[in-house]
Amino acid sequence: MAKKFSAQHFLNRELGQLEFNRRVLAQAEDADVPLLERLKYLCIVSSNLDEFFEIRVAGLKEQINLSGVPAGPDGMDAHQTLKLVREQAHQLIERQYHILNSDLLPALDREGVRFLRRTHWNEAQRAWVREFFFGEVMPVLTPIGLDPSHPFPMVLNKSLNFAVELQGKDAFGRNSAKAIVQAPRVLPRTIPLPKEISGCEHGFVFLSSILHAHVGELFGGMEVLSCHQFRVTRNSNLFVDDEEVKNLRISLQGELPHRHFGNAVRMEVTDNCSPQVAEFLLQQFMLEPGDLYRVDGPVNLVRLMGIPDKVERDDLKFPAFSPGVPGVLQKKGADMFKVIRKGDILLHHPFQSFKPIIDFIQQAAADPKVVAIKQTVYRTGVDSALMEALIAATRMGKEVTVVVELLARFDEEANINWASKLEEVGAHVVYGVVGHKTHAKMLMVVRREDGKLHRYVHLGTGNYHPRTARLYTDFGLFTANEEVCADVNEVFSQLTGLGKAGKLRHLWQSPFSLHSQVLSAIHNETKLAKAGKTAHIIAKMNALLEPETIMALYEASCAGVKVDLIVRGVCALRPGVPGLSENIRVRSVIGRFLEHTRVFYFRNNLAHDVYLASADWMDRNFFRRIEVCFPLLDKKLKKRVIEEGLKVYLLDNCLAWDMGKDGGYRRKTPRRATPKNSQFLLLQELAGQPVKQGQ
């Protein structure tokens, strides 16, 4: 009988996400990280927090409004969680701006990258800014005075706005004391100045500084008493009724515009904003004092993400590298089908190139022997060579089927556009299964050879997105194994047709078998340990939250199974608790690349089973998504994944953070040991050219 575990054995998801962002923020503090990359990490934290408030905090507020929603596995209800989230988020954001003002901006200034504050402008700079305001800014502004005929305007999600306090009467004799100025999104938030004006190599001025300096020009004859930046974050969850929806694309297109105007969840203002203005804004957006975040600087640090691209200083950025290509594919114009027939091919991104995947689908589109192509699309980007190849294949008469996930968060619009383009040329476009996101990464090509049809498949842990393939770590597998290909064909049949789910020989699939198979593999290690045999589980993923899986890991630990977990983001399991999880170690690796691979290893009495997956160990991945988890059958590739995808991370003492039983993390440091930077070592081993020492 399974042992029962109490709420104290589980950590809170929302607090875990904030803890993850502390680890990312530590990269911005790390003097060993190139300076402009540190600025990027600071911006990434802001971007992460935006989504955190839009989705997770918004969800907590919805639960509070509904009332009666049960507590999570950790025992905390939405009220308790929101209280702690506010406390910790305020601390995190305060730390973030302290790093910006006390560390990064002075360091950038010393390198000739300067953000010119309006209080320090000289006459030439003031004149340039004034000309820019009248020529580029003022023509697109629409100041709105607040009075009975001009109510508070609809403010876009995450947009830059200004609350202005005024004194005096306007041209119509109105005595309005307040106005709102919305900064159009077409305007850049950081404006580069000419060198001769800025007095440095790379000088920038914030749009907010320009508006502050000239806001009086918008209200002729009136006195501006104060002007304060503000930014509101809104609930960005989309609501599509699974039972009522008749056409998912049409329903989603109707819902997308509302994302910009969902219920407010957070208000950001500058730290010099008066209490009266702050209270006024909170009332307008129906927010509580705990939802107000005062910041010492620009209210939207995400907009600084583009600065490194505007500054040509390679010495302040990560060293460039060329992704490697497996030897069997290095011959120019290599026949992908011929090579895959000879044996499975493993790609490890971004250390190895994404180009073979593009080559594969482009060759399939042009090959007269190819009769059909099927692919899932979750995130692929606005510009995609893969999507263009599918369009070309359709025009050349191939049977092209694309399963497009329209509910891929924040990529809905791009996916709708690709779906429309594919349908226009005659491709079969389906939207998966309503109520279950299609998150599996699958590509199948059917080719006629010697009078018979043969299948070729690519399976991956990450999206078919060439840009993120340079930033995220992922594995991809090419195979012509008939049984694996038959499994993939079965999953495609489920997605596009109707009928009972068929039995799969090798793939574990959500929502049908993945959860039970993972539990079975964990229980098998537990059984082996109880029988006195060595048992070991290593699992790498983005998040670990599903309670039953965590309980199974606790049971395995109690039985003597060694469990190594490499969880980049949120982990609800408490490691190292005597009598519960003393054999479990949890670590997170944060570095140059976003760790995105999902790899599951089970020793299984020396069988050394290795699986790659599109799924994390979360409720949504197990039960509300269509995911695939696939085994590595080739022994050499299995060994590669164990070495490249697991062991190198367990030995890392530069990028790794070890988790304590309280949910806190401590960063590993080399001290006297030889530094082992997992991502650097993989670049050295797999990339097409040597990389300089460093991150």
The whole-angstrom separation of Cα 524 and Cα 518 is 10
Domain residue extents for the chain: 7-316, 332-500, 509-686
pLDDT tens digit string along 344-365?
999 999 999 999 999 999 999 9
From the list 543, 589, 581, 547, the residue with the least C-alpha distance to 562 is: 581
pLDDT tens digit string along 620-656?
999 999 999 999 999 999 999 999 999 999 999 999 9
Catalytic residue among 349, 439, 536, 596: 439
| 508 bridge partner residues | 629
Sign, Cα dihedral of 629, 631, 637, 638: positive
Contact 20, 665 (CB under 8 A): no
Instruction: State whether residue 578 is helix, strand or coil.
Output: coil
pLDDT tens digit string along 646-693?
999 999 999 999 999 999 999 988 777 899 999 999 999 999 765 554
The whole-angstrom separation of Cα 529 and Cα 561 is 6
* φ, ψ dihedrals at 598, nearest 5°: -115, 110
Q: Give a three-class secondary structure readout of 35-99.
A: HHHHHHHHHHHHHHHHHHHHHHHHHHHHHHHHCCCCCCCCCCCHHHHHHHHHHHHHHHHHHHHHH
* Whole-number pLDDT of residue 431: 81
* pLDDT, mean of residues 473-485: 98
Choices 3.30.1840.10, 3.40.1280.10, 3.40.50.300, 3.30.930.20: CATH for 7-316: 3.30.1840.10
* φ, ψ dihedrals at 172, nearest 5°: -100, 10
Same fold, 332-500 and 509-686: yes
Q: How far apart are the first and last CA of the chain?
A: 48
Name the E strands within 105-222. 113-115, 144-145, 161-167, 178-182, 190-193, 202-206
The whole-angstrom separation of Cα 612 and Cα 645 is 10
CATH architecture entry for 509-686: 2-Layer Sandwich (3.30)
Q: Establish whether 515 is a catalytic residue.
A: no
Q: 332-500: what CATH class?
A: alpha beta
pLDDT tens digit string along 175-191?
668 899 999 888 999 99
Name the E strands within 257-312. 264-270, 292-295
Peptide bond into 356 cis (omega under 30): no
* Whole-number pLDDT of residue 332: 80
Tokens coding 642: 């164990």
Contact 155, 161 (CB under 8 A): yes
pLDDT tens digit string along 413-430?
777 787 888 889 988 888
From the list 313, 312, 314, 319, the residue with the least C-alpha distance to 695 is: 319
Return the number of other C-beta atoms located less than 10 Å from residue 635's C-beta. 10
Contact 502, 516 (CB under 8 A): no
